[in-house]
Amino acid sequence: MAAQETRHLPTEIPEPRISRFAFADRRIAWLWLLVRVYVGYEWIKAAADKLGQAAWTGAQAGTGLAGFLKGAIAKTGGSNPAVQGWYATFLKDFVMHHLVVFSYMVAFGELAVGVALILGAVTGVAAFFGCFMNMNYMLAGSTSVNPVLFVLGLFLVLAWRVAGYYGADRFILPVLGTPWKPGSAFEHTADAPHAGQA
């Protein structure tokens, strides 16, 4: 019986040219600059509303968030609830018991994401945390501009290599690098003498 030939399937699927151009080509970085600034502006605007209110970051911190959460928990009724029961349980049993901490986290988290996106500093990471907040707001039944920011944020995560090219990432990324390719701050020269060598 003749030995059967083993066919090896590729472990990596080549990236299509259009995808590479859209998410990794510096020639399209101007488009991501526009997206980045718009999304960053929306986050800073949302944060500014909270940072200036006593109910979010002042003497009554937590009361603003409590009102939002009570509204979310109330949306769990009916045959097609706007808020899923498991998420309402998380809000009721955990977040409601740490209102002040979460209130500050929301306000300053929105500000941090907005500033990082405007500056183009660690854009992919900032966009990821922005998407995470959008997802939580949507799970809590708040639509507003969240779906739009979520989709734009996902695109910024995909375009992390060039989304901050016209910004701080142009200088930060070569220094930090990535987990699979460390930047100049973490490079170790092969010729450096080891301890104990003359």
- Looking at residue 188, its pLDDT comes to 64
Q: Which residues, other chains included, contact 176 with Cβ-Cβ below 8 Å and sequence gap of 6+? A: 122, 183, 185, 186
List the one residue out of 56, 54, 37, 46 whose CA is nearest residue 167: 37
Q: What is the mean pLDDT of each run of 10 residues along the chain (198 residues)?
A: 60 84 93 98 96 92 94 88 94 96 96 98 97 97 94 97 95 85 71 50
3-state helix, strand, coil in the chain (%, to 5): 65, 0, 30
Q: Is 130 exposed, middle or buried (0-12, 13-18, 19+ CB in 10 A)?
A: buried
Q: CB–CB of 43/152 below 8 Å? A: no
pTM to 2 decimals? 0.85
Q: What is the pLDDT of residue 3?
A: 52
The pLDDT, as a whole number, for residue 7 is 67
